[in-house]
Amino acid sequence: MPRRARLSLPNVPQHLIQRGNNRQVCFAADEDYRFYLDWLGDYAARTGCRIHAYVLMTNHVHLLVSAERGGATGEMMKALGQRYVQYFNRSHRRSGTLWEGRYRSCPTQTEDYLLACQRYIELNPVRAAMVAHPAEYRWSSYRANAQGEADALITPHAVYQALGLDEAARQMSYRELFRYELEPGLVDEIRKATNGNFVLGDARFAEQIAMALGRRVTPGTSGRPRKMPMPESGTLP
């Protein structure tokens, strides 16, 4: 069965996740995180991608990315993945695959959903009970987005920039968003859209993406299609 093509359009943010094969460790030392982030910045610049948020967990990666052209995100991830796997295998004296197949992704609606997706990404270490607050985790974009810590990798999205008139105001407004946990239903919605390669947004956004790509972008109805009953003789269906 052929793989479903990814939903990718210019300047439409994408939430993506890439997991280690069989959930194996992908980052075993501080140098692993640093090299990955350095190379992510390098390949993002080469392919015209902008990183709005990220978190590197022990066995998987989350990114929120916008690209200048369709397909650029895939080019970035392919080049980054190949380089990082070569480095990781050499450094840790191993061989074979590191990633669990292709990364998973979903186009993300800017209104209502983009900042929720950023929170979902940066709260991953909290949900995993690794830290009590996202600021305590070193390998994410939270400190840049919420506290103004220098991070050359991050390009703020226009929705984030609209949070305030200056950097201090934006950071304060962004920190306020983290006073409350994400609703479980929204967490499930983000996970299902990302893992299923569907859109993350409302019905109107889904319709716009479907028209632009000419294909279905939301989950179909499970099971076989029901057969319509035959009309009785002399009647119209």
The verdict on residue 132 lying in a domain is: yes
The verdict on residue 122 lying in a domain is: yes
Q: Per residue in 116-140, pLDDT tens?
A: 999 999 999 999 999 999 999 999 9
The verdict on residue 5 lying in a domain is: no
The verdict on residue 223 lying in a domain is: no
Return the pLDDT at 3. 56
Does residue 199 contact residue 7 with C-beta atoms inside 8 Å? yes
State mean pLDDT over 147-168: 97
Q: Per residue in 15-60, pLDDT tens?
A: 999 999 998 999 999 999 999 999 999 999 999 999 999 999 999 9
**Per-residue CA distances from 11 to 8, 158, 204 (Å):** 9, 11, 18
What is the C-alpha separation between 32 and 227, in angstroms, rounded?
55
Give me the amino acid identity at 172: M
Rounded to two decimals, the pTM is 0.89
Give me the amino acid identity at 166: D
60 closest CA partner among 107, 9, 130: 130
State mean pLDDT over 143-152: 97
The verdict on residue 237 lying in a domain is: no
State mean pLDDT over 132-155: 97
List the 60-67 sheet strands across, edge first: 49-56, 60-67, 14-19, 104-107
pLDDT band at 234 (very low <50, low <70, confident <90, very high): very low
186 closest CA partner among 129, 132, 119: 119
**How many domains are there within the chain?**
1
For residue 117, give the CATH number of its domain.
Answer: 3.30.70.1290
The verdict on residue 7 lying in a domain is: no
Return the pLDDT at 217. 84
47 closest CA partner among 31, 70, 24, 64: 70
**Where is pLDDT greater, at 213 or 201?**
201
CA dihedral (73, 78, 79, 84) in degrees, to 10, reads 120
Domain that holds residue 45: 14-210
What is the C-alpha separation between 63 and 190, in angstroms, rounded?
13
| Ordered alpha helix ranges (H), the chain | 30-47, 72-91, 114-122, 124-127, 142-147, 158-161, 167-177, 184-196, 203-213
Q: Per residue in 191-207, pLDDT tens?
A: 999 999 899 999 999 99
Q: Is residue 215 pLDDT above 90, yes or no?
A: no
The verdict on residue 227 lying in a domain is: no
The verdict on residue 20 lying in a domain is: yes
What is the C-alpha separation between 98 and 206, in angstroms, rounded?
33
